[in-house]
């Protein structure tokens, strides 16, 4: 649990089971003080702009019924108190265009689903580390095509997989 500074985490995903799965992995990585969950991006947006909570980081899916994850990202980046909060997209999509759009809208990283508990723990450890959060945003021209088989090939028994992709860059 070294170098884990983030204590206020927001997780936005329409699937309540995903919240429990994520929280279990999070507890293996950090002694997070506050963990807020939302099943709808619009509800999260309203809460965040009202300043009722101020997270250190936001993890979110992209697919919601009332407000898409893309719209959420574009809107929160307009608020002074929210614009510098890192947002990590966790999505079923591994399309380059989806990754590019979320990057353009200001997301800090992209984690493709699916993953198991062990992989998620490694991903969270990487993302919640100071090294990841202090990295400058890569240039859009540096995109690399992300494919599912590349992700699976990155997993090894002896080295934890930092499967978070900082827009085309594997974090090792």
Q: Return the H-helix or E-strand segment holding 102.
A: helix 96-104
Q: Which residue has the higher pLDDT, 145 or 135?
A: 135
Query: 168 pLDDT band (50/70/90 cuts)?
Result: very low
- Average the pLDDT over 136-152 and give the result: 39
- Grouping H, G, I as helix, E, B as strand and the rest as coil, residue 104 is helix
Place of tokens 């590349």: 150
| Mean pLDDT rounded to a whole number for the chain | 77
Q: For the segment 86-99, what is each residue's pLDDT rounded down to a tens digit? A: 999 999 887 888 88
Q: What pLDDT is attached to residue 97?
A: 87
**Ordered DSSP codes for 13-48:** -S-HHHHHHHHHHHHHH---SEEEEES-HHHHHHHH
Q: What's the predicted TM-score (pTM) here?
A: 0.77
Phi, psi of 118 (to 5 degrees): -60, -45
**Binning pLDDT at 50, 70 and 90, where does residue 126 land?**
confident
Q: Which domains does the chain have, with CATH numbers?
A: 8-153 (3.40.50.2300)
Q: What integer pLDDT is reported at residue 158 of this predicted model? A: 27
Q: What is the mean pLDDT of residues 144-148?
A: 34
- pLDDT at 81 exceeding the cut of 50: yes
Q: What is the mean pLDDT of residues 61-82?
A: 94
Residue 149: its pLDDT value, please? Answer: 34
- pLDDT score for 136: 63
pLDDT at 53 over 60: yes
**Each residue's pLDDT tens digit, 110-124:** 888 888 899 999 888
Written as six digits, the tokens of 91 are 């999505």
The distance from CA 50 to its chain's CA centroid, rounded to whole angstroms, is 22
Report whether pLDDT(2) > 80. Answer: no
Percent of the chain with pLDDT over 90: 47
**Distance of alpha carbon 116 from the chain centroid:** 16
């Amino acid at each position: 649990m070294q170098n884990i500074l983030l204590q206020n985490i927001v997780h936005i995903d329409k699937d309540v089971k995903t919240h429990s799965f994520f929280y279990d992995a999070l507890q293996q990585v950090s002694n997070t003080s506050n963990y807020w969950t939302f099943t709808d991006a619009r509800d999260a947006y309203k809460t965040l702009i009202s300043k009722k909570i101020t997270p250190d980081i936001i993890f979110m899916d992209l697919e919601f019924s009332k407000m898409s994850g893309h719209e959420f990202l574009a809107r929160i980046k307009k608020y002074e108190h929210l614009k510098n909060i890192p947002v990590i997209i966790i999505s079923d999509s591994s399309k380059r265009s989806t990754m590019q759009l979320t990057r353009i809208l200001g997301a800090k990283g992209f984690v493709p689903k699916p993953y198991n508990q062990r992989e998620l723990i490694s991903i969270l450890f990487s993302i919640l580390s100071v090294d990841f959060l202090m990295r400058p945003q890569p240039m859009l021209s540096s995109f690399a095509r992300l494919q599912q088989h590349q992700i699976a090939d990155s997993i090894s028994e002896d080295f934890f997989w930092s499967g978070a992709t900082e827009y085309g860059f594997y974090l090792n």
